Amino acid sequence: MHADMEKVISHYDSSSSVHVATAQCESNSGSGTGKALCDSFNLPYYPYIIYGNSGTKSGEYNGARSYADMVSFIDNHYSGVPATDLKFCDNKVVV
């Protein structure tokens, strides 16, 4: 899944309306770390994918973890939504 997530991140790299990112939940070096982010969303295991707008969790992604499936989900749910702050955090999180 990691390679597909990297492709998804690259796919939306220049998008102004969709942001896709990962977080290292094991990192524990203070606020602003992956662990703090994961803890704030009470993520029970990794990889775990959540989605939302402007840093607010809207739901959990339970679809297939392939590049094509994740891009299709994002495009179908967030295409054309201005200023969306959607963050997918793989192998570790999503916000």
Give dist(CA 19, CA 10) in Å, integer. 10
Q: Give the three-state DSSP class for 74.
A: helix
Give dist(CA 13, CA 37) in Å, integer. 21
Tens of pLDDT, residues 30-71: 555 677 778 888 887 677 788 887 777 888 888 999 999 999
Residues belonging to the chain: 95
End-to-end Cα, the chain, rounded Å? 17
Tens of pLDDT, residues 18-31: 888 887 777 665 55
pLDDT value of residue 66 = 93
pLDDT value of residue 68 = 93
Give dist(CA 11, CA 9) in Å, integer. 5
CB 35 within 8 A of CB 26: yes
Per-residue pLDDT band for 91 (boundaries 50, 70, 90) equals very low
